[in-house]
Every structure is written in structure tokens, then in C-alpha cells.
């Protein structure tokens, strides 16, 4: 019994050392959350870096200045804001009933992308 306890203690030393080393890699909480793919970071959403790239890659092929399906043009901050304000963008990306699920003919956005968009709206749709 005693030797087993000793072995456990010996195993714990490297384990604790490793845990301390890992916890020291990140010097502030924000970096830790931003770099961790398992955590969806939704604080202080940026229109330019967090939101518009999502819209550009999955919506503009059908909702731009030159091709506005259903009359909906969300190219650029002003156009996107107009439609985001009415709540319709959040409804379509969340696949709510009563609206057409978007993006059309493509996978639903990840939970994290949807959370980021909704957070940006909640944070006042900043043009940042």
C-alpha cells in the first residue's frame, strides 16, 4: 500500500509541473479564449474581422449590389445593418420557422458563427 502511494506521488509531480507550465502559456484571459478553438469568443465583436468575413463568404454571392436575391442586398456595413436591425438576418441564419433558411443550398452556420453574429447585433452593430 505504501509503495503504491509513493508511485502515485511520483506520477503527480510531472503532472502538476505540466499543468503549471500550460497554465502559464497564456498571459491574459482574452488571449486564452481567442486562441482556444473549443471556446466560442463573442465579446467585443468586430464588424471587419468577425462578422463581415462570414457574410462575404456565405451570403454575398446571392445578396450583393449586383445580385440581390429577393431584393436583399447586404453588401457593405450600411446595407447589412439595415437588414440586421429588422431582425431578419438572425432569423434566417438561425433557421427560424416562417422565414427561408439561409445560406440557401449550403450548411447552416456553426453555432459559434451564429453566436458571433447575434452578439454583434446585441452589442449595437458597431462598424469597427
**Residues that bind ligand HEC in the complex, under the rule CB under 6 A:** 58-59, 61-63, 69-70, 72, 83, 88-89, 92-93, 99-100, 102-106
State the nearest-atom distance from the C-beta of 35 to ligand HEC, in Å.
26
**In angstroms, what is the minimal distance from the CB of 28 to ligand HEC?**
33
Query: Residue 30 or 122: which CB sits closer to ligand HEC?
Result: 122
Q: Which is nearer to ligand HEC, 43 or 105 (CB)?
A: 105
- Using DSSP's 3-state secondary structure scheme, residue 117 falls into helix
How far is CA 20 from each of CA 16, 17, 29, 54, 106, rounded to the nearest angstrom? 6, 5, 15, 36, 43
Q: Report the alpha-carbon distance of residue 128 to residue 37 in Å, rounded.
A: 23
In the complex with ligand HEC, which residue's Cβ is closer, 9 or 105? 105
Q: Contact, 83 vs 72, CB < 8 A?
A: yes
Q: Within the chain, where are the H helices?
A: 2-23, 29-35, 52-58, 76-85, 88-93, 111-122
CB of 76 to ligand HEC, least distance (A): 14
Residue 19 vs 76, nearer CB to ligand HEC: 76
Amino acid at each position: 500500500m505504501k509503495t503504491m502511494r509513493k508511485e502515485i506521488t511520483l506520477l503527480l509531480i510531472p503532472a502538476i509541473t505540466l499543468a503549471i507550465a500550460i497554465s502559464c502559456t497564456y498571459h491574459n484571459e482574452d488571449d486564452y479564449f481567442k486562441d482556444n478553438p473549443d471556446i466560442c469568443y463573442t465579446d467585443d465583436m468586430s464588424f471587419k474581422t468577425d462578422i463581415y468575413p462570414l457574410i462575404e463568404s456565405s451570403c454575398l454571392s446571392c445578396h450583393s449590389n449586383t445580385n440581390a436575391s429577393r431584393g436583399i442586398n447586404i453588401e457593405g456595413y450600411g446595407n447589412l445593418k439595415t437588414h440586421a436591425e429588422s431582425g431578419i438576418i438572425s432569423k434566417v441564419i438561425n433557421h427560424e420557422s416562417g422565414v427561408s433558411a439561409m445560406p440557401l443550398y449550403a450548411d447552416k452556420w456553426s453555432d459559434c458563427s451564429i453566436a458571433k453574429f447575434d452578439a454583434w447585433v446585441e452589442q449595437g452593430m458597431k462598424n469597427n
